[in-house]
Amino acid sequence: MAAVCGIVAIARGAGAKLSLSQRQAARVRDALAHRGPDGAGSWESSGLYLGQRRLEVISPGEAGRQPMASRDGRWVIVYNGELYNDADMRGELGGLGQEPYSPSDTATMCQVLSAWGAGGLRRCRGMFALVAYDTVERRLVMARDPLGIKPLYFAFATPADGCGAELVIASEAAALFEHPRLSPGIDVLGLSAYLATIRLCTEGRTLFQGVSMLPPGRVVEFDLRSEGFESTAWDLPIEGWSPDDNTGVRGTVEESVALHLRSDVPVCVLLSGGLDSTIIAAETRRHRLSLPTFGAGDDRDDPQGDAEQARRLAESWGLPHTAIRMTQERFAQGVRTLIDRTGQPVGTPNETAIHALGCAIRAYGCKVALTGEGADELFGGYDGPLRRALAYIDSGGEDPAADFLLSNCWVGPQALPVVLHPRIFAMADAFGWLLEEYRRAFEIEAARPGVALLPRGEALRGHMRLVRRMNLTGLLQRVDSALSQSGVEGRTPLADRVVASCADSLPMEERYRPDEPLGTKVAFRRAFADVVPRSVLERPKASFPLPFQDWMGPLFADVGRAPIVDELFNREAWDVVSSDPASHWQLAWPMVNAALWARRWFG
């Protein structure tokens, strides 16, 4: 099985030779060694290189080695992820005489392409990013799962001979710059979007000029017979995976957890003491498993905090538990490490805790961690934002996307021109672009198929889908990025294609009831009320908190008077924020991360 892994593809059109040597291409691939410490592979053809770094989870050894070819040799694939309906796909393929030749789900994906072409990806339930090559029609396919659990970046390089472009694809943006004809540059719109939202990517746009992230669910097919990379693009839908009518929320989640447990290496659970991770831990116990659990908290001795709640729960259920205590020093070092290794700013502050957990998990001997991301975005877990959205709808507001963006800003439209250097701010209408992207995204999500509801409920459904598109994608990227640095695969049973379809089919009152004390995730709570301790079921949402507001001082000291600060920011605004980060934390967090990121690349 492909697991977390790192994949690379480098291609030129019209039969032109690659501009890289084998050693140079391998450097691009091996920049992802942390994602796949268990092995490396490559495949070359005229004008094409495919490379993979492997984390062995299922079918270790030759049975899962990549790049891998289909039975007839027509398709060659590099693949990062897990196929959770592997058994069903094997049954269908066997009936067509296309039975995979190894237990690896990479072999299944090869035969899916052999049987149905790229359209066969619509049948796949899992987390994946892949690049596949059709050796007959010379088509290169890159694809990403509908929820965006696994990442995929791409850029076009200009070879030294000046003839055509060279397409470079990789699991992480930093790996792209190992290509000798690609150099990092700042995308002003991407940087502004990060400052406003702390998201590393907005609708495919990154902080790097010329580097794009493939959007969730996007499939792009390139014709390598042409010099100009003629392509077609289409999307994999989330909808259309509704479970059996008798399954309900509980049955759907139970099935998803069971599918996510498949592994030939040790599995653990990230346990926060909250509802979502507790349900996952409870489900693993239902399978008579006593999986080790890992939790993190800050260094305060809080009996109601995440760390203590998780410890008590694990003890009461007889589960092995490892607690990680986050300190200011560990937090600051985590930020430095993540920026250095990923080449990107840190998104949410608690990404540092997830990275620390990944290190502990790998040291313990596990390679796979089940995490609880997804339930809040799919089942309605955020009371404050949902309450605000309802108030906006009831007030007659006609621009819900703008309200969503403005209510969740870190550096808002009034602050952005104040904190940015005037030259940077003048280069583009950054907030105007961001606002239009949110409006377009809302229109797309609101138009997706769904249960017909009253206008108020339908408007809130559109809001929920926008949360899924924006917030959940960022959180899943956070998990992948933080855990992969330690060679650990994060699996998200609640952020699953079928679970998402089930949640979206619920009436809004089954997700959120503003007039009830426990009015969030209504159906989700009810479905597991008999297996979750009452103290957890009624515990207020904590969102994995860290007191990062008080911990940012050393990060500002790291940057000091670096010239890059004066190139990006208004020095007066920087001095005000850096002198008291705790009081200006919404500005301080994205600003110091952006400065550390820029210093890492630009000196």
Q: Tens digits of per-residue pLDDT, 490-511? A: 999 999 999 999 999 899 999 9
| DSSP-derived 3-state class of residue 536 | helix
| DSSP-derived 3-state class of residue 348 | coil
pLDDT at site 162 = 76
Residue type, 253: V
- Residue 186: strand pairing partners: 208
- Give the pLDDT band (50/70/90) at residue 512: very high
pLDDT tens digits along 556-565? 999 988 999 9
Angle among Cα 136, 63, 54 to the nearest 5 degrees reads 85
Pairing state between β 293-298 and 267-270: parallel
Q: Is pLDDT at 371 greater than 60 in this prediction?
A: yes
Average pLDDT over residues 262-277: 94
Domains of the chain: 6-185+207-235 (3.60.20.10), 240-410+432-546 (3.40.50.620)
Residue type, 275: L
Q: Is pLDDT at 301 greater than 80 in this prediction?
A: no
What contacts 323, CB < 8 A, 6 or more positions away?
Answer: 294, 295, 296, 297, 307, 310, 311
pLDDT at site 205 = 97
Q: Is pLDDT at 386 greater than 80 in this prediction?
A: yes
Average pLDDT over residues 311-335: 96
pLDDT at site 561 = 86
pLDDT at site 451 = 45
d(CA 209, CA 349): 25
Residue type, 210: G
- Which of 30, 26, 34 lies closest to 10, judged by CA? 26
Q: For a pLDDT cut of 90, what percent of the chain falls above it?
A: 84
- Got the DSSP string for 560-594? TT-HHHHHHB-HHHHHHHHH-TTTTHHHHHHHHHH
- 326 φ/ψ angles, rounded to the nearest 5 degrees: -85, 130
Q: Is pLDDT at 428 greater than 50 in this prediction?
A: yes
pLDDT at site 533 = 94
> What is the overall mean pLDDT for the chain?
93
For the CA atoms of the chain, what is the radius of gyration? 23
Residue 246 structure tokens: 């008798």
pLDDT at site 560 = 87
- Residue 516 burial (CB count, 10 A): 10
Average pLDDT over residues 314-320: 96
Q: Is pLDDT at 184 greater than 90 in this prediction?
A: yes
d(CA 101, CA 92): 14
- Give the pLDDT band (50/70/90) at residue 448: confident
d(CA 539, CA 273): 9
pLDDT tens digits along 304-313? 777 888 999 9
What contacts 85, CB < 8 A, 6 or more positions away?
Answer: 123, 124, 125, 126, 259
pLDDT at site 452 = 47
Average pLDDT over residues 146-155: 97
Q: Is pLDDT at 96 greater than 90 in this prediction?
A: yes
What 8-state DSSP symbol labels residue 468? I
pLDDT at site 156 = 97
pLDDT at site 543 = 63
Residue type, 375: A
Q: Is pLDDT at 295 greater than 70 in this prediction?
A: yes
Q: Is pLDDT at 453 greater than 60 in this prediction?
A: no
- Residue 8: strand pairing partners: 51, 170
pLDDT at site 357 = 97
pLDDT at site 282 = 97
- Got the DSSP string for 421-450? -HHHHTT--HHHHHHHHHHHHHHHHHTS--
d(CA 234, CA 246): 32
